[in-house]
Structure 1
Amino acid sequence: MSITLVLIGVLLSSTAVEFTGAQSVGVCYGGFGNNLPTRQAVIDLYKSNGIGKIRLYNPDDAALQALKNSNIEVILGVPNDVLKSLTNAQAAADWVNKNVKPYYPSVKIKYIAVGNEIHADSPEASSVLPALQNIQNAISSSNLGQIKVSTAIDTILIGKSYPPNDGAFSDGSVGYIRPIVNFLVSNGSPLLANVYPYFSYVNNQQSIGLDYALFTKQGKNEVGYQNLFDAILDSIYAALEKVGGSNVKIVVSESGWPSEGGTGASAGNAATYYGNLIRHAKGGTPKRPNGPIETYLFAMFDENQKPGPEIERHFGLFRPDKSPKYQLSFN
């Protein structure tokens, strides 16, 4: 992918980003808003902008119907609140029969994300592995073997992240994550990881420069890294190696930067981050140089009803009226 950032001096009002191809980059589609377009209009927006990958956080029928024959690759989410039910094998088979089989292969479901950002001390933690196994068995028995089953983690599970080569899961997380990694190894599935340099920067500004977080740093640091995204990603790869997952690939299932609502949150910074990430994703990291890095930008729209701090409602690439927040132009 090539990116051209135009009108740098007026980033706050308009940023033009040019994309050639979208092989490695997709966009997450969240729905915590009461002002968002119809599902069909959203999928049409993906198509008209040449966005070839989408992450859905739940099996939304209207979105899946709109995705039929679109050739858009899909991460289909299993919401956290149904994980416990899927520890029952029949319930997992029913879930696949209802939410996968009617759409596949006219909907290009590539991954099923069984849970999102579950921590070792989360109430759902004990359900993740059996739910993964049961969904996998249902996929296999339904001859849907091209679909890979995984779960999406966040970096809270990482106890040590710097230097990246010393990355390791925290002591409290190892017992939770190791059997999940064994599952991924056995099934040739990737690990889905939500990677946010924004939060690492905000929480450690004394050690992390904004340029390092935005891919604009000149030259490498003392451990050979030029940007925070690669450092975080490689710390997860190092952690995987330490629990038997040396051959597990990471798919970056979320990454984004807010345009307002908090420290470092501005339209200019967000535009710089998204544009540089799209360009960067065509390559690799120091630890895994053979790219591209399959990456899903968060998110398609600002979500005005999303809970949490103000920044959570300002990650959109597009406004609810479908106009680009940054003047996006796709080849």
Structure 2
Amino acid sequence: MRVSTLLPFLLAAAPAVVSARGTLGFSLGDKNPDGKCKTTSDYEQDFDDLKDLATLVRTYSGTECNTPSQILPAAKKKGFKVVLGIWVGPQDKSDMSTNDPSFAKDFAALKKAVPGYEDVVEAITVGSETLYRGDQTGPSLHKYIGLVAKEFKGVTVGTADSWNKFADGTADDLFTTDTDDAPMVTYVLANAFAYWQGTAVDKAYQTYFNDMEGAMSHIQKIAGKNADKIRIITGETGWPTDGGTDYEAAIAGTKNAEHFWKTGVCGCLPGAYDESWKPDSVGDNGKPQSEKHWGLRTADRKSKFDTTCPK
């Protein structure tokens, strides 16, 4: 999981068109800089800080830090919408039943937390890069999505994954099979990181657009006449600021992060805040990669650079 921004994607000839028409949102971590779980009052402070930029946020887990029960009251009070997440773990390839314990816990948590707050739930995503990790297949993930859609009638239910899993056919079952048990998925968060492809910042916007176009074109082809029912959205993108880790030709730094903001999808940077508590992860090249410095703002809510968009 790489935390970043949430931005509905519209294919456009220039970044300014995307930023003008898109709806900016942010993924929020569920812990404070000291590693302690956020409370409702902490989320209220986040929302007060973000309200001039966005009123849409995304979360990832139903049970870690009791996120849904803490964030939904804050969102309702402050006029925000929330994309809730349900985690789905590895699938036993010999057992196609929906018995993943991570899913079961998160699903149960949302059943308790969502009633009474349906009006602030933008959507529920089932799985986060589970196809990318190889934890699930398209058909098995589809079954999990169907269970959630049945439970939360009237709430949009979809999934989030890496753009290439939507472009290469791995997720085709989500858009070709439409039954009562597994309805066609109409809400797609595609993660697209030119940075993690080692692209130099001056070419990053083009890589980002190409990736999203690849995901969108394939989904539309597979969905056929139903393509206009599907919302294809950038779930994660961005660039690390000063203190981040370089990745091949992609160089971390606040100036480069600002450049990606201005030339990519204006206003589309990863996560609202730095998350200093996060441990290092390991990149595809096997080297440690810091994820502490991907925020638009520092952990104490100070802006890192000018966030206005080009006219």
Question: TM over 0.5: same fold?
Answer: yes
Name the amino acid aligned to 2:172. Answer: R
Structure 2 match to 1:261: 245
Compared with structure 1, are the counterparts of its residues 177 and 104 closer, same or farther at alpha carbon in structure 2 (3 Å cutoff)? same
Task: Give distance in 1, aligned partners of 2:116 and 2:222.
Answer: 37
CA deviations on 1:27-57 (whole Å, 9 max, x unpaired) are 111236643772232122122x331211111
Q: Quick one: which of 33, 36, 46 aligns to 1:42? A: 46
Kept in 2, the 8 Å contact 1:257–1:315? The answer is yes
Compared with structure 1, are the counterparts of its residues 148 and 262 closer, same or farther at alpha carbon in structure 2 (3 Å cutoff)? same
Task: Give distance in 2, aligned partners of 1:94 and 1:210.
Answer: 42
Compared with structure 1, are the counterparts of its residues 327 and 238 closer, same or farther at alpha carbon in structure 2 (3 Å cutoff)? closer
Over aligned residues, Cα RMSD in angstroms?
3.5
Q: Secondary structure at the match of 1:244?
A: helix
Task: Give distance in 2, aligned partners of 1:178 and 1:58.
Answer: 25
Q: How many corresponding residue pairs?
A: 256
Bigger relative contact order (CA 8 A; separation at least 6): 1
Q: Quick one: which of 113, 124, 130 aligns to 1:112? A: 124
The structure with the largest alpha-carbon Rg is 1
Structure 1 match to 2:284: none
- The runs of 5 or more residues in structure 2 that have no matched partner are 1-18, 92-97, 282-287
CA deviations on 1:100-127 (whole Å, 9 max, x unpaired) are 213222xx21111101001266334464
Q: Secondary structure at the match of 2:85?
A: strand
Kept in 2, the 8 Å contact 1:85–1:91? The answer is no
Structure 2 match to 1:56: 59
Task: Give distance in 2, aligned partners of 1:298 and 1:241.
Answer: 26
Write out aligned runs for 1:1-331 (5 A). 24-31=23-30, 34-35=33-34, 38-47=42-51, 49-59=52-62, 60=67, 61-81=69-89, 84-85=98-99, 94-105=108-119, 108-119=120-131, 122-125=134-137, 127-140=140-153, 145=154, 147-157=155-165, 168-169=167-168, 174=169, 176-182=170-176, 186-187=183-184, 189-200=186-197, 202=198, 210-213=201-204, 215=205, 227-244=206-223, 246-247=227-228, 248-259=230-241, 260-263=244-247, 264-279=251-266, 297-304=269-276, 305-308=278-281, 309-328=288-307
Identity of aligned residues (%): 20
- The runs of 5 or more residues in structure 1 that have no matched partner are 1-19, 159-167, 216-226, 282-295
Q: CA deviation at 1:85?
A: 4.3
Query: TM-score scaled by structure 1?
Result: 0.66
Task: Give distance in 1, aligned partners of 2:165 and 2:184.
Answer: 22
Kept in 2, the 8 Å contact 1:116–1:151? The answer is yes
Name the amino acid aligned to 2:175. Answer: V
Task: Give distance in 1, aligned partners of 2:265 and 2:152.
Answer: 32
Q: CA deviation at 1:306?
A: 4.0
Task: Give distance in 2, aligned partners of 1:198 and 1:303.
Answer: 18
